[in-house]
Amino acid sequence: MNFTLRHMRPYSARVALYVLLVVLSVLFTMTTALSVADFLKLLFGTDSDVSVPSVNLVARWLDGLYAWLITFGRRNALLLFSALIFLLYTLKNVFEYLSTIEIAIIRTRVIRDLRNSMFHKAMRLPLSYYDHARKGDVLSRFGSDMVEYEENTLNSIQMLLTAIISMVLYLAMLLYLNVKLTLFVLAMLPIVAFVISGLSRKLKRKSKKVQEMNSYLVSITDETIGGLKVIKSYTAIDFVNRRFRQTNRDYTRQRTAMFRRIYAASPISDFLGNVIVIGILLFGSFLVMGGDHGLTADLFISYVMLFVLMIPPAKELTTAISQIKKGRACSDRIEAFLHEEEEVSGVRSAESGERRTENAPAVELKHVGFSYTEGIPVLKDINLCVPRGTTVALVGASGSGKSTIADLICRFYETTEGEILLSGTPIQQMTLADLRSRIGVVAQDTLLFNDSVSANIAFGCPNATEEQIRQAAMAAQAHDFIMALPDGYHTNLGDGGSLLSGGQRQRISIARALLREPELLILDEATSALDTEAERRLQETLNTILVGRTAIVIAHRLSTVVGADNIVVLDHGEIVEQGTHQELIAHEGRYRELATLQNF
């Protein structure tokens, strides 16, 4: 509840207006119910009824209304009374409608704010979070968790507010009409509350388990669709089906058990409400027949009607409590996601700004160590200097730590030991936006969006002009094939750039990186996913681009890095050799072994 109330706080004025509208709706409902006493007098009463003294202010007001109506004659009075009841019901419905519209606005805006906060959080979480989190679990928080949260928690808070306001007003009026009868009602309410709380006690735990199983189902579905080619290749369709059916069976069983408890609350509260109504009828009848001071027969009928009107809000109250407990699991999962630790942005101080000099290396790693899992080092005591305007290549076997170095420079992960400097400034003292705006990355897996060529190249540079986009495309040698597309730079590339070949997608990615005019260009296996011919053409493009630029090139194929100014050989997270191609071949060390294995 605290989580929801915090997100409703910006809409306090609307909540206050909603409360006022509900109060007005209930007041007009009560007025209609109380007027029934006059309706009965008009039908069956005599003029002598007016002379009966009343000590109750409500009874006096009703007697006054009756006295005014009867002056028009009994038939005309019935018509006037019908018009009055119609007016009261109309006003009640108007205020009820306005209150539902108001709470709907609050609900939709709270959900909007939550989705914005969650998406913002998802963008700011470190990559290490996604290394361990299931994709389906993250997606389910945006999907089913949010739907369940709105339907259960927000809808139930609306029911809870309406029920509490209605019950308080009804109880206040019932107390005023007759204290003895109302105390009898209040004495029975704790029994109802005890029975309902016993039903809903385990709902939160069951609901949390249901949500976790739902996220697992989403994960299985996502993995299955993504890996359908592998599943079919290994004829594992039956195995995957069995696994999904078993999980789905468990999920259905848990969900059914949860609904048993939820739906049991309504009929049980109905039964208990009817028991109380029978008790009121018996006890109230004895009071009327015993000449209880202030409780007349017609006022007793109005009392019973008011109590009957209070039963639906009482049922809504018990249902709302059950639903809130069910929705608590969703709000806990959403709140936990929003409280995940974000990337540490860092703030560049004035002192750190002074350290940025033209003579400083473009990138420098000093005694850098890193571990994805504590106690299992991936990088050990890495010392590396990348002078300005030079190309440094990182080579080595898979798992040697090449891509990890690139990730650390971009601060996708934080170093465990040592420090990294960009132009003489420790990257931990730079904001993430400042750091990453000075680095251009071209990865092996090119991500293109379902948008135009121009939008993909200008991604991250919304103010780029058409001319700048064309210049970047020309530098990446992508202009010619772009102009051959149906709509040129305005051609939509489809999902993931499906309309382009692998080499063309990489050239778009290179153009995107060049548009930023980065101080440092990182090419992480940029050509490894291409065939030999496409790789050769793209390598020619890269050789042209890298002239005079500061670049770190990560490669498996040594043929792509022979022209690098410095080749750094990594093995099991350590630098074992570095030098030019000729120097390393002559050294007859690890680099020569790799070159021999590749028949190069």
In this model, does residue 218 exceed pLDDT 50? yes
pLDDT score for 229: 65
Which one of 275, 309, 338 terminates a domain? 338
Looking at residue 92, its amino acid is K
- The pLDDT assigned to 46 comes to 45
Query: Around Cβ 43, how many Cβ atoms within 10 Å?
Result: 10
pLDDT single digits (tens) 510-527: 888 888 888 899 988 877
Counting residues of the chain whose pLDDT is more than 70, the rounded percentage is: 84
Rounded to whole angstroms, how far apart are CA atoms 418 and 406? 15
Of the residues 338, 367, 391, which one is the last residue of a structural domain? 338
579 within some domain? no
Summarize pLDDT for 246-297 with one digit per residue, the tens.
Answer: 888 888 888 887 777 777 766 776 777 777 778 888 887 877 777 665 667 7
Please give the structure tokens belonging to residue 427.
Answer: 């990257």
The answer to whether residues 323 and 465 belong to one domain is no
pLDDT band for position 39 (50/70/90)? low
pLDDT in tens, 452-508: 899 889 888 888 899 999 998 888 888 888 999 899 999 988 777 777 887 888 888
Domain that holds residue 190: 2-338
Say what the pLDDT of residue 351 is: 43
Phi, then psi, of 419 in degrees rounded to 5: -145, 160
Q: For 183-187, 374-378, 454-458, which range has the lowest pLDDT when averaged over its residues?
A: 183-187
- Domain-located, residue 239: yes
Confidence (pLDDT) at 281 = 81
pLDDT above 60 for 242: yes
pLDDT over threshold 90, residue 18: yes
Q: Of all residues in the chain, what percent carry a pLDDT higher than 90?
A: 15
> How many structural domains comprise the chain?
2
Is 0.75 surpassed by the pTM of this model?
Answer: no
What average pLDDT does range 31-42 have in this prediction? Answer: 67
Taking only the tens place, the pLDDT of each residue in 387-422 is 998 999 999 888 888 989 999 998 888 899 999 999
SS3 content of the chain, % helix, strand, coil (to 5): 65, 10, 25
Mean pLDDT, residues 330-348 taken together: 78
- What is the rounded distance in angstroms from the CA atom of residue 313 to the CA atom of residue 319? 10
* DSSP state letter for 369: E
CA-to-CA separations, 33 to 95, 134, 140, 294, in angstroms, rounded: 17, 56, 47, 18
Please indicate, yes or no, whether residues 333 and 452 belong to a single structural domain of this protein: no
Q: Is 31 exposed, middle or buried (0-12, 13-18, 19+ CB in 10 A)?
A: middle
Whether 333 and 453 map to the same domain: the answer is: no
Q: Considering only CA atoms, give the Rg of the chain.
A: 37
Among the candidates 517, 543, 560, a domain finishes at: 517
Is residue 553 a part of any domain in this protein? no
Whether residue 542 lies inside any domain: the answer is: no
CATH code for position 159:
1.20.1560.10
511 contact partners, CB below 8 Å, separation of at least 6: 457, 469, 472, 473, 475, 476, 478
Identity (one letter) of the amino acid at 449? F
124 or 537: which leads in pLDDT: 124
Residue 417: per-residue pLDDT: 92
Q: In this structure, what token pair is assigned to residue 239? A: 């195995």
Between 387 and 198, where is the model more confident? 387
The pLDDT tens digits of the residues spanning 84-113 come to 778 888 888 999 999 999 998 998 899 999
In sequence order, the 6+-apart residues with CB closer than 8 A to the CB of 441 are: 406, 410, 513, 522, 524
Is 139 or 455 the better-scoring residue by pLDDT?
455
Residue 97 lies in a domain: yes
Cβ neighbourhood burial of 339 (10 Å; 0-12, 13-18, 19+) = exposed
Is the residue at 440 inside a domain? no
- Map residue 549 onto helix, strand or coil: coil
pLDDT in tens, 547-582: 888 999 998 878 778 888 999 999 989 999 999 988
Please check whether residue 343 is in contact with residue 125, taking contact to mean a CB–CB distance below 8 angstroms.
yes
- Residue 352 is predicted with a pLDDT of 42
Q: Which two tokens stand for residue 150?
A: 């709105």
Residue given tokens 């999920």 in the structure block: 251
Q: Please tell me the predicted confidence (pLDDT) of residue 418.
A: 92
Separation between Cα atoms, residue 239 and residue 253, nearest integer Å: 21
Token representation of residue 475: 């530098």
216 and 76 in a single domain? The answer is yes
Q: Where are the beta strands (DSSP E) in 469-565?
A: 520-524, 551-554
Give the pLDDT of residue 368.
93
297-338 vs 155-177: helix axis angle to the nearest 10? 150
| Residue 368 in domain | no
Helix (H) or strand (E) holding 270: helix 237-289
Comparing 212-226, 291-305, 308-322, 332-346, which segment has the lowest mean pLDDT?
Answer: 291-305
Please list, in sequence order, all residues whose beta carbon lies within 8 angstroms of the beta carbon of residue 285, skipping any fewer than 6 positions away: 300
The DSSP letter of residue 492 is B
Domain co-membership, 327 together with 476: no
Alpha helices in 45-73 (DSSP H): 57-70
Q: Could you say which DSSP state residue 496 is in?
A: G
Distance of CA 464 to the CA centre of its chain: 31
Domain assignment of residue 297, yes or no = yes
